Each structure stands twice: as C-alpha cells, then as structure tokens.
Structure 1
Amino acid sequence: MKLYKYLSEDRLDVLTNRRIRFSYPRSVNDPFESSMMLGDYELNLKKPHERHDECRKKMTFLSLSRNSGNLLMWSHYAASHTGFCIEFNRKNNFFSKAQPVIYRRERGVLNGYISIEEQFNFDKTLLQKPIDWAYEEEERIFASDLESEPLVGNNDIFGESINLLEYPVGAIDGVYLGLRSSDILKEKISEELLRISAGKIKLYKAETDSKYYQLRFQEVLYKK
C-alpha cells in the first residue's frame, strides 16, 4: 500500500528539497487534536493534565493519506485541485513507521489504573480523531520514531516552530498533478523528476471520470 501527501503548488519545495514538515498538534486544523477526556480520578489531579500538555509540546508528526483520489483531499490540501500529490512507498524505512489514525465519536479517556507514562505513548491521543475526519484515511509518522534531525525554521501562525525532516528520494514512487494544475507546474515537476530519477519516477495527471463522480489518473510521458 502506498502513502500520499497532498500539496499546493507553492509547496513544490517539498519535492525539490525533499524536506517535509512534521507539525505540532496545535498547528493542525483539528481543534480536538490529541484532546483526551479525563476520568473522575484524573479530574482531581493537576499532574496528568500538565503531563498531557507537556507531551503535546514535544511531539511532531507527518500526516499522510492512503487515498490518492479523494475529491475533498484534493480540494482542501491541494488548493482546489491546482496542486499535486506525492506517492511514497511505505516499504521505505522512513515511511514504514506510519501508523493508522483511528476515528471515533467519543474522546478517549485517561484511565487512573494505568500509569500516565504508559498512556502517553500517543496511541491514545495523536492517533485518535473525530469520525468526521475519516474520509482522510490518515496515517501518521512521529518524528520521535525516526533518527533524522529536523531543520527548524520560523514559527507558524500558532507560534509553533516549523520542523522539516529530509526524506530519501528513493521513497518517491510517483507524483500526481491535480485536475486544475497548470502547465507550468507540470513542467517544473517534470524537470525535477528528470533530475532526481532520470525519468524513472512516474508522473500522472488527474482527469474526470465520464460516468462517476471520481478522478482517474493518466500517465504523463515527460521527456527523458
């Protein structure tokens, strides 16, 4: 199974520099990110909540999808289908660390009978999201599971630093151009794929299906 990262046209640097952002929970678009419901026992304690906040401030992650043809993903994360999507091979060591997100209607609950440290491995926080997000088919890679050191840049609008980690070029299996992507973007990506893979990485362009409300992808034969 492949993993996909949707990007807008102005994020071409993710392909050319091969550095991709790992975000803090506060920087993503879900206001319930990593929020847990405290049990009756924990409500009377200050330390668990502080421990929760402490972990949130330290953990960064990369969000990916298992689906390359989701109309909403192309709309929300690839600037209304004008951007592109990178296909990664999850067998590559960098992407083999990906873990699936679990979608729920109720928040997870901290259990007073389990140690705080055991619970804060984030399989009960950063790998749980409201069911409304299920269409994203998300998987996440935690920076703490990798040996790479991040390149730390400026702060985002939430005051969190922008951390970029370098991924191996060998992890790229393909690139998909959005339905409304420009010829200029196609040319830039074609040139980059020639440079980094001598044309071995495949390039695709989205088209509308003639019968169903869905996308299909046609391979683009760029110069080699």
Structure 2
Amino acid sequence: MRLYHFLNTEYGLLNIRNRRLKIARINELNDPFEFLGAATKHPAVRRRYQALKDGLNDHMGLVCFSANWNNPVQWGHYADRHRGLCLGFDVHAQAHKVSYVEERLLARPSALKSEGPVAQAHVTEILTTKFEHWSYENEYRLFPQLQHQDPSGHFFLDFNDQVVLREVIVGHHSTISRDDIAEALGPLAPKVASYKARLAFRSFNVVRQKNDRLWEKRL
C-alpha cells in the first residue's frame, strides 16, 4: 500500500538521511480527544479510559500516514505551508485505517476488564477513531513499540522492508533543490522517484510538476 507522510524541510531531509521517521507519543498528539473518544458522564469510566491511554503511551507510539498527497490542507498544516516535503512509502506492515465519526463512541468499560477478541476490537476502535472534521487527512496508522530511545529522547521507526521509501515530493513553495534530495537519498536515489509539486490549474489539488526545468538545481 502506498502511503504518504508530510514533513517540514529540516526534519524531512534529516529523516531521509537517517532513514527513519519519528514515532509520535500518544500523550503529545495535537488532538486532545485522541484515544479518549468514548462518551460517558461517569468520572470513574473516564478515568479508566485515561488510564488506558496512559498505559498505551508507556509502551507504544504511532506513525501517521495519508492515503494521498494531493490535499493542499495537509501541505499547509504538516509541510510548513507547502515549503516542506512529502515522503511516499510502500507500507507492508499492518496499517490501521482511521474512521471519522460525528458522535463519540459508546463507552464499553466492561470490554477493558477482559482479554481476547472483544477487548482487542474495542481498543482498536479507540485507537483508530477521530472526529469527522479530521477526515481530510485520510489517515492510516502504524503502532510501533517504543524500544530504542534516541539520545534526543525520541523514538524512531527505521526504514525497512516493511516501510520502503519510494517517493519524495517537494512542496510548491519549497526551496529544496534536486541536489539536496539527491544528496539526502544517497544510494537510495535510483530506487526513489523525486519531483516537485505544483498547484493544479483547474481544481483545489496539489499535483506533480511535470516541467523539470521549473525545479532548479542548487544555485
């Protein structure tokens, strides 16, 4: 499955050079409803779901992808206002598709007390449900374990045979040159398509710039 990950210039080039993606921590996500989507007026039940979220945060994180790269809102929000880039991966690991809903989920605290398929299904539902206004992201998620902490304090998912870099798309307003991308890719360059994006002429989409002369080499 081809999936896409948006980044600003600094971290985009750094991740290409280091062959890895940063794993997001569950308790640091930009949506405060993440993993707390169940509706309940009972404080004890809310505490149970918060405890679930905190417990998951201790041993796993997530890496977020989109099913496409053409949405200008995503470039605006996650790629530094079209000045960053987008990485396209062939993802062979189990990627969980996010569901977007209008109403919060039915709380099922009894499922959290048990083990087996029912409990697992409810936890997966919690992990992959967001408010419908986030639907423009068309999101898929990987949930890697937190195993090797970087000296910076972060965790990373290495590029591997389950997450294979195939595309580097440079934003419409980006000053990243072809030489910058080639240097970051190094030996990967022959296996990775790299190109500049532009704004579509007849729709609100971002599309590929087919005129290579409009993507300059480094001055």
What TM-score comes out, normalization by structure 1 length? 0.80
Instruction: Give the aligned partner of residue 22 of structure 2.
Output: 21
Residue segments in structure 1 that go unaligned for 5+ positions in a row: 155-160
Instruction: Give the aligned partner of residue 210 of structure 1.
Output: 201
Taking the aligned partners of 1:49 and 1:197, their CA distance within structure 2 comes to 42
Instruction: Give the aligned partner of residue 89 of structure 1.
Output: 90
Taking the aligned partners of 1:198 and 1:101, their CA distance within structure 2 comes to 31
Instruction: Give the aligned partner of residue 188 of structure 1.
Output: 180
Q: Kindly report which structure 2 residues correspond to 1:107-186, keeping only aligned pairs within 5 A, or say none.
A: 107-118=104-115, 119=119, 122-144=123-145, 149-154=147-152, 161-168=153-160, 171-182=164-175, 184-186=176-178
Q: Does 1:8 find its partner at 2:1?
A: no
* Range with greater deviation from structure 2 (48-57 or 23-32): 48-57
Taking the aligned partners of 1:209 and 1:52, their CA distance within structure 2 comes to 41
Please say if residues 64 and 138 of structure 1, whose CA atoms lie closer than 8 Å, have aligned partners that are also in contact.
Answer: yes
Taking the aligned partners of 1:45 and 1:65, their CA distance within structure 2 comes to 30
Please say if residues 85 and 168 of structure 2, whose CA atoms lie closer than 8 Å, have aligned partners that are also in contact.
Answer: yes
What secondary structure is seen at the aligned counterpart in 1 of 2:10?
helix
Please say if residues 26 and 56 of structure 2, whose CA atoms lie closer than 8 Å, have aligned partners that are also in contact.
Answer: no
Residue segments in structure 2 that go unaligned for 5+ positions in a row: none
Residue 213 of structure 1: how far off its partner (Å): 2.3
Residue 107 of structure 1: how far off its partner (Å): 1.9
Residues 109 and 181 of structure 1, relative CA distance in 2, 3 Å threshold: same
Taking the aligned partners of 1:130 and 1:153, their CA distance within structure 2 comes to 35
Residue 46 of structure 1: how far off its partner (Å): 6.0
Please say if residues 39 and 112 of structure 1, whose CA atoms lie closer than 8 Å, have aligned partners that are also in contact.
Answer: no
Taking the aligned partners of 1:7 and 1:23, their CA distance within structure 2 comes to 13
Residues 120 and 215 of structure 1, relative CA distance in 2, 3 Å threshold: same
Taking the aligned partners of 1:172 and 1:8, their CA distance within structure 2 comes to 17
CA deviation digits over 1:86-117, x for unaligned, max 9?
11012x3xxx2211011112222332443435
Taking the aligned partners of 1:202 and 1:79, their CA distance within structure 2 comes to 22
Please say if residues 199 and 206 of structure 2, whose CA atoms lie closer than 8 Å, have aligned partners that are also in contact.
Answer: yes
What TM-score comes out, normalization by structure 2 length? 0.81
Taking the aligned partners of 2:201 and 2:49, their CA distance within structure 1 comes to 54
Residue 9 of structure 1: how far off its partner (Å): 0.4
Taking the aligned partners of 2:80 and 2:53, their CA distance within structure 1 comes to 33
Instruction: Give the aligned partner of residue 96 of structure 2.
Output: 99
Residue 218 of structure 1: how far off its partner (Å): 2.9
Per residue, is there more helix in 1 or in 2? 2
Residue 39 of structure 1: how far off its partner (Å): 4.9
Please say if residues 9 and 185 of structure 1, whose CA atoms lie closer than 8 Å, have aligned partners that are also in contact.
Answer: no
Matched residue type, 1:201:
V
* Range with greater deviation from structure 2 (62-71 or 161-170): 161-170
* Range with greater deviation from structure 2 (117-126 or 130-139): 117-126
Q: Percent of aligned pairs with the same residue?
A: 26
Taking the aligned partners of 1:215 and 1:151, their CA distance within structure 2 comes to 36
Residues 152 and 210 of structure 1, relative CA distance in 2, 3 Å threshold: same
What secondary structure is seen at the aligned counterpart in 2 of 1:125?
helix
Please say if residues 104 and 131 of structure 1, whose CA atoms lie closer than 8 Å, have aligned partners that are also in contact.
Answer: yes
Residues 198 and 179 of structure 1, relative CA distance in 2, 3 Å threshold: closer
CA deviation digits over 1:143-194, x for unaligned, max 9?
13xxx9434343xxxxxx5211211288111110100111x4432112233x
